[in-house]
Chain A
Amino acid sequence: EPEVTQTPSHQVTQMGQEVILRCVPISNHLYFYWYRQILGQKVEFLVSFYNNEISEKSEIFDDQFSVERPDGSNFTLKIRSTKLEDSAMYFCASSDAGDKPEETQYFGPGTRLLVL
């Protein structure tokens, strides 16, 4: 069964450093997403990406964040200058957004980011 994969599984970084989180969405999917979950809090939407551009972003997704689809398979989230409060589990998701209104997002296993 196809699945979303994410690397690395864990990332420890110093405050102010740049990190890149990587995702390989399910191959025939067209929509890609990043979410995060801070410990003890809800899963929160960050950004969605379709047709090589951002289709929607939340207020969390400020200028420190960027996304890219550098090739036909990878989807990346970059945090330019990490803050302590960026420590969270980051989940990538993808969906096959066809013409039907019901479209299920499938999630990867997550990257645990710890900013020291």
Chain B
Amino acid sequence: DQQVKQNSPSLSVQEGRISILNCDYTNSMFDYFLWYKKYPAEGPTFLISISSIKDKNEDGRFTVFLNKSAKHLSLHIVPSQPGDSAVYFCAASEGSGSRLTFGEGTQLTVNP
């Protein structure tokens, strides 16, 4: 099941710089997209989301961009902080109450 794919298993950036995490999907029925952050031995923590009717959503240092024609979304973190170091999962759903389909995750490391 490769409906949601995160091609970069890891990303390393310097503190203060921008982190860009990418996610691609194949299912055109997905209409809601979410990013979760996960620390080892903890559950996924909701970060930010975007509906398919939008192309951008911003919350503080976090911005998610959606390109429906390319079936691609990205998460921008500016400025990156060492506390942002975690695994970031992209997830998608087909509507209210339906299952989330997750990507493989990207390990972000922010170096001081």
A binding-site residues for B, Cβ under 8 Å: 4, 6, 31, 33, 35, 42-45, 48, 50, 55-56, 58, 91, 93, 95, 97-110, 112
Report yes or no: B51 in contact with A101, Cβ–Cβ below 8 A: yes
Question: On chain B, which size bracket covers the interface?
Answer: 20 to 34
Shortest distance between the CB of B48 and any CB in chain A (Å): 10
Asked whether B102 is an interface residue with its Cβ less than 8 Å from the other chain, the reply is yes
Asked whether B49 is an interface residue with its Cβ less than 8 Å from the other chain, the reply is yes
Report yes or no: B42 in contact with A43, Cβ–Cβ below 8 A: no
B binding-site residues for A, Cβ under 8 Å: 31-32, 34, 36, 41-46, 49, 51, 89, 91, 93, 95-105
Q: Which of A33, A50, A101, A102 contacts B99 (CB 8 A)?
A: A33
Report yes or no: A102 in contact with B36, Cβ–Cβ below 8 A: no
B residues less than 8 Å from A99 (CB atoms): 96
Q: Which of A45, A98, A109 contacts B100 (CB 8 A)?
A: A45
**Known contacts A42-B104, A107-B43, A110-B43, A48 near B97 by CB under 8 Å:** yes
Distance A112 CA – B43 CA, assembled complex (angstroms): 11
Report yes or no: A107 in contact with B97, Cβ–Cβ below 8 A: no
Distance A108 CA – B97 CA, assembled complex (angstroms): 17
Report yes or no: B96 in contact with A100, Cβ–Cβ below 8 A: yes
Distance A58 CA – B98 CA, assembled complex (angstroms): 11
Distance A80 CA – B51 CA, assembled complex (angstroms): 38
Distance A42 CA – B103 CA, assembled complex (angstroms): 7
B residues less than 8 Å from A50 (CB atoms): 97
Distance A97 CA – B36 CA, assembled complex (angstroms): 19
